[in-house]
């Protein structure tokens, strides 16, 4: 590194990249030791909002988090211990100020209707993040120079003298970078064999196939009014597509005097055939308490997690070591809500009742079932600390976490606003939507020249349709990445997928492999790059819960991550991880010696 300056590249200008820049600015004056700091922020989309929160998307699309639980500032109770704070309003406080300002436009109109427990639109959230970026840019002017490049980064390589170089899509190179942080969001992936087959079938027969993607990016213009559409998946993306195909086409929902929601069609809706492996949609999203608070763990604490990992000679088994703690937390929350004032409720087998009650959460808001299910949402950081970076063995990760607990938690506590479930019921009553049944199967029917769907559990459920929409996001899998930067790193041996266990018996989870905090990128030989870091969705396998928002008054794993990266970039603590060339030379020498 230069003694007079420090040059940093940050790829990705969404909320994660924004937090990295904010933390670099917060630490620069103290840790940069008098060096001038320049940050190159690289993203073709507007800084702050990024792609997912862009302000021009359909305003019927909502966050899956209430307004009172979102912030981008490192305020008191949120920032890691000893880290500098940068106070500022959360999304709800910002919206209140906007509502009082007398401004016009869609943002201000929504802000006037917004409450702390309301679900804001993604467009409004994007406006908030863009506003935060402008505040950070102004406040950071004295501590660093910020350069924004509205282009994609397509390649990253080592340069001379320990520096790095980034190639931009337009052909320009950013050279002399002392450190690079990859803060990308959800990046594109190549289609699976099944998806390629569906696309080819659609092209052959003149059908419409919408592959897994963010709903705001999907082209639904070819879907004709009244025609059947197979919408596969019952998660968050499903509800977004449901919205785009109904209220997005002029329909509206009214609440009757008896409280029941009724749908008033516009006549431009298709007939939507819904289904997935499970028979019912995700439960309403966890954590609706005013102010964005969380239930403080009584049993499954960070201290206990650290002891569990320290005491084991090898990785943990999820069902043996972690699930009993999660179950006790859920039971404690259930009985505390059922019998207020009891600090130490007796343990009892309530989980079967929790599952039975999942379908009625909207009717029991604030009740014991909701309190128990909120635990699954509130314990995400504790689970993450326990399992990330080889905390679990490969088989337990595959079978227990990825195959069972993560889908269960999302199903029970990761769903949409309660109003979305009410709207689905109204659409079914209106004949606009039909839930085909559990285990819905979709196939290419060459004889009919259409896609066919049916539930093996429901007699007579088979229907055919010209349109198939995959109502889910593509998975995180570095091996199928279509992002040019990650593809270049993978093909050149500068990164690798995250895996657990040895050789062919191990489990390759698919995300970008990084070390523990501060998340150095690991190359194809398993060697961490000393000044290359990554966080966010591409690292989901190694470092879970990457999409969780920073929350007001709650210690945030996301902010702890970006703060650690900023510290490591500005003032590496001691020697960096073993140099890649040095380790390769040592391994080669060991191989020669046999």
pLDDT at position 389 is 64
> Which of the residue ranges 26-30, 59-63, 93-97, 332-336 has the most confident prediction, judged by mean pLDDT?
93-97
Q: Kindly state the percentage of the chain with pLDDT values over 70.
A: 82
Residues 58, 179 within the same domain: yes
Residue 5 is given by DSSP the state E
How far apart are alpha carbons 435 and 427 in whole angstroms?
Answer: 10
- 127 φψ region: left (φ > 0), alpha (ψ -120 to 50), beta (else): alpha
Residues 155, 9 within the same domain: yes
* Rg from Cα positions in the chain: 25
User: Can you say whether the dihedral through the CA atoms of 29, 35, 36, 41 is positive or negative?
Assistant: negative
Reported as half-sphere exposure (CB side, CA atoms, 13 A), residue 188 has a value of: 10
563 is a domain residue: yes
Residues 453, 491 within the same domain: no
pLDDT at 262 over 80: yes
452 is a domain residue: yes
pLDDT higher at 298 or 502: 298
Residues 458, 368 within the same domain: no
96 is a domain residue: yes
Among residues 413, 442, 460, the one where a domain terminates is 413
143 is a domain residue: yes
pLDDT at position 578 is 46
419 is a domain residue: no
Taking Cα atoms as reference points, which of 2, 1, 26, 5 lies closest to residue 562?
26
229 is a domain residue: yes
pLDDT at 471 over 90: yes
pLDDT at position 104 is 93
CB contact at 8 A, 275 and 453:
yes
* Structural domain for 328, as ranges: 293-413
Quick: pLDDT tens for 556-587.
Answer: 778 888 999 999 999 866 554 443 333 334 33
Burial of 377 (0-12, 13-18, 19+ CB in 10 A): buried
pLDDT at position 357 is 37
Residues 397, 251 within the same domain: no
Q: Which long-range contacts (CB under 8 A, 24 or more apart) does 559-563 make?
A: 559/19, 559/23, 559/74, 559/78, 559/79, 559/80, 560/80, 560/517, 561/517, 561/518, 561/519, 561/535, 562/16, 562/19, 562/20, 562/22, 562/23, 562/535, 563/23, 563/27, 563/74, 563/79, 563/80, 563/83
pLDDT at position 356 is 39
Quick: pLDDT tens for 423-460.
Answer: 999 999 999 999 998 889 999 999 999 999 999 989 99
Residues 150, 23 within the same domain: yes
424 is a domain residue: no
Residues 307, 268 within the same domain: no
pLDDT at 329 over 70: yes
Q: How many domains does the chain have?
A: 3
How far apart are alpha carbons 297 and 320 in whole angstroms?
Answer: 19
Residues 24, 153 within the same domain: yes
Residues 35, 179 within the same domain: yes
Residues 201, 74 within the same domain: no
Q: Kindly state the percentage of the chain with pLDDT values over 90.
A: 51
Instruction: Indicate the pairing of strand 467-470 with strand 208-210.
Output: parallel
420 is a domain residue: no
Residues 198, 230 within the same domain: yes
Residues 405, 519 within the same domain: no
Angle between helices 236-244 and 418-429 (to 10 degrees): 50
Quick: pLDDT tens for 209-229.
Answer: 999 999 999 999 999 999 999
């Amino acid at each position: 590194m230069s003694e007079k300056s420090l040059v940093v590249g940050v790829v990705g200008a969404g909320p994660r990249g924004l937090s990295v820049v904010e933390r670099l600015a917060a630490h620069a004056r103290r840790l940069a030791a008098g060096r001038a700091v320049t940050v190159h922020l690289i993203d073709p989309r507007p800084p702050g909002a990024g792609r997912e929160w862009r302000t021009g998307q359909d305003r019927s699309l909502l966050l899956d988090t209430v307004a009172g639980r979102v912030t981008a500032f490192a305020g008191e109770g949120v920032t890691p211990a000893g880290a500098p704070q940068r106070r500022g309003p959360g999304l709800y406080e910002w919206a209140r100020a906007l509502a009082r300002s007398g401004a016009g436009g869609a943002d201000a109109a929504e802000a006037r209707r917004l409450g702390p427990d309301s679900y804001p639109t993604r467009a409004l959230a994007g406006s908030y993040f863009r506003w935060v970026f402008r505040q950070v840019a102004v406040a950071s002017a004295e501590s660093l120079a910020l350069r924004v490049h509205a282009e994609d980064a397509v390649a990253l390589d080592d340069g001379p003298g320990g520096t790095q170089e980034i190639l931009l899509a337009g052909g320009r190179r950013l050279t002399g970078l002392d450190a690079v942080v990859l803060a990308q969001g959800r990046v594109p992936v190549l289609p699976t064999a099944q998806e390629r087959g569906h696309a080819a079938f659609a092209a052959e027969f003149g059908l419409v196939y919408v592959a897994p993607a963010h709903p705001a990016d999907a082209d639904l213009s070819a879907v004709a009014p009244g025609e059947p559409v197979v919408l596969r998946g019952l998660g968050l993306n499903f509800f977004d597509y449901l919205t785009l195909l109904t209220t997005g086409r002029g329909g509206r929902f009214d609440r009757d005097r008896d409280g029941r929601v009724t749908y008033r069609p516009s006549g431009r809706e298709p007939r939507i055939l819904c289904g997935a492996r499970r028979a019912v949609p995700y439960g309403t999203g966890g954590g609706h308490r005013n102010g964005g608070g969380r239930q403080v763990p009584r049993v499954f604490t960070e201290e206990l997690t650290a002891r569990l990992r320290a005491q084991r000679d090898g990785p943990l088994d999820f069902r043996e070591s972690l699930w009993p703690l999660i179950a006790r937390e859920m039971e404690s929350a259930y009985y505390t809500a059922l019998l207020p004032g009891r600090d130490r409720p007796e343990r009892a087998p309530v989980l079967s009742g929790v599952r039975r009650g999942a379908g009625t959460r909207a009717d029991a808001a604030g009740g014991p079932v909701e309190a128990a299910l909120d635990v699954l949402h509130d314990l995400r950081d504790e689970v993450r600390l326990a399992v990330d970076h080889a905390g679990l063995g490969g088989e337990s990760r595959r079978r227990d976490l990825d195959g069972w607990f993560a889908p269960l938690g999302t199903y029970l506590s990761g769903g949409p606003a309660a109003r979305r479930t009410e709207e689905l019921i109204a659409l079914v009553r209106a004949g606009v939507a039909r839930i085909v049944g559990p285990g819905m199967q979709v196939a290419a029917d060459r004889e009919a020249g259409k896609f066919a769907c049916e539930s093996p559990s429901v007699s007579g459920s088979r229907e055919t349709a010209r349109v198939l929409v995959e109502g889910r996001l593509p998975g995180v899998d570095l091996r199928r990445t279509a992002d040019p930067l990650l593809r270049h790193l993978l093909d050149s041996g500068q990164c690798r997928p995250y895996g657990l266990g040895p050789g062919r018996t191990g489990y390759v989870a698919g995300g970008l492999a990084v070390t523990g905090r501060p998340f150095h990128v690991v190359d194809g030989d398993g060697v961490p790059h000393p000044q290359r870091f990554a966080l966010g969705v591409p690292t989901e396998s190694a470092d879970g819960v990457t999409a969780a928002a920073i929350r007001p008054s709650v210690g945030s794993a996301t902010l702890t991550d970006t703060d650690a990266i900023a510290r490591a970039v500005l003032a590496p603590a001691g020697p960096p991880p073993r140099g890649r060339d040095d380790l390769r030379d040592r391994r080669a020498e060991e191989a020669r010696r046999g």
